[in-house]
Every structure is written in structure tokens, then in C-alpha cells.
Amino acid sequence: MSELVFFSGTMDCGKSTLALQMGHNRSARGLQGVIFTRDDRAGAGKLSSRLGLVTDAVEAAPDMDLYAHLIGEMSKGGKVDYVIVDEAQFLHPEQIDQLARVVDDLGLDVFAFGITTDFRTRLFPGSQRLIELADRIEALQVEAMCWCGARATHNARTVGGEMVVEGEQVVVGDVDQHEGDVGYEVLCRRHHQRRVTSATARADVLSPDVLPVDPA
């Protein structure tokens, strides 16, 4: 029985690595799949992992009909046994509906990988629709860690190490940033709510509060 499965987790928990592994395991058994991605850190038409692995993929443009694309591939004689979608949170809800149709009408398994919430702790529209439609939701078992050592549950956007809470929902960046760049960091809820990133925590250690001086 084919399924639409949503593998979710924070940034830096191995989603893209698992997507690459699933594709490798199936290709090793002679199966052929189509990989969709959107706004990957390695550039358009790529699925990459922070471990350095990368493979070619189909860039799922905002106006692309994913169901029609697969029908087109199959009508030209292409073999499609499964579908992998990375960065699924960036897809439009209508594209998630198209993936559900791939499962129901074409009988293909669809494995979607993505984060659920943005830097403001709001659901991405694509992730929300996946939660509504998926046959199964799997939380990634590799837990990302906050700088304090606790389990990271929230994604934070940073600029020069400082956490920001306003701006466009989608701004491409990574957990590896240069000073002044837009980047991302995973935090526990406590430090996300307090807006304490690893950089600001280090600054607090290096610059402790000055003790009050008694004028007498």
C-alpha cells in the first residue's frame, strides 16, 4: 500500500542525509525514483547534506505541477518507483495536494522531508498541509542540540549571531554562517523564547554584568 510519509524535525537533525540514504538504498535494489527539492543550500536542482553528500534533483519551482511532471516522465517511458521530496516545507499547499494524488492515483510512495515551523515558531504552509494529509508522520530520531546541551526544538534565524524574529518567512541560509550573514541556529524552547543564541551566550560570558559600586 503506497503512502505519503512526512519526515519532520528541526534543522541539523539529518533530514537530507536520510533522504539521500533512502534514495541510495532503493537505487541499489534496482528501483528508480524522482527527487524534488526547493532552495537547497547547494543550489538549484541539488539535494545536499551537511555531511558533504550531494545528488541531482528536480527543482520544484513554485508554479510546477508535481503530479503533471511525473505523468510527463512516465508517458515518455521513464520508470518511476518512488518519489522523494526534500525541503518540503517550502512547497505550496497545492503541491502537497499533488503529492497526495501521486500516492492515491499512481500508487507511488512519496517520502517528504522538512521542518515544521519557521524562525517565528509558525507552521510553514507546506508542512501544515503535510500534517493534514500525510498517511504517516515520522519524527527524526537524530536529535539536534541547543548550544546549552538540551534537545533543540526550535529554529532561530540570526544575523551576525543575533536572533531576529521579523522578516520574510523564507530566507535561504544555513547553520554555517559568516559574520554578518543571515544564518540559522537550533535552540531549545527556553533559549528561543529568551532569544539567547550561542554567540550572545558567549558574549555574556566574556562581558559579565558590572557589579554596582557603593559610592561610599
**Residues identified as active-site:** 87
Contacts of 66 (CB under 8 A, 6+ apart): 36, 60, 95, 98, 99, 102
List the grid coordinates of 53.
553528500
- Quickly list H helices, the chain: 15-28, 66-75, 93-106, 125-133, 189-194, 198-206
Q: Identify the CA nearest to 89 among candidates 161, 153, 16.
A: 16
Q: Is the dihedral of CA 176, 178, 183, 186 positive or negative?
A: positive
106 contacts 70 by C-beta, under 8 angstroms? yes
d(CA 73, CA 114): 25
- CA distances to 49, 75, 158 from 8, rounded to whole Å, are 15, 32, 22
Written as one letter, the residue type at 126 is: G
3 state SS of 33:
strand
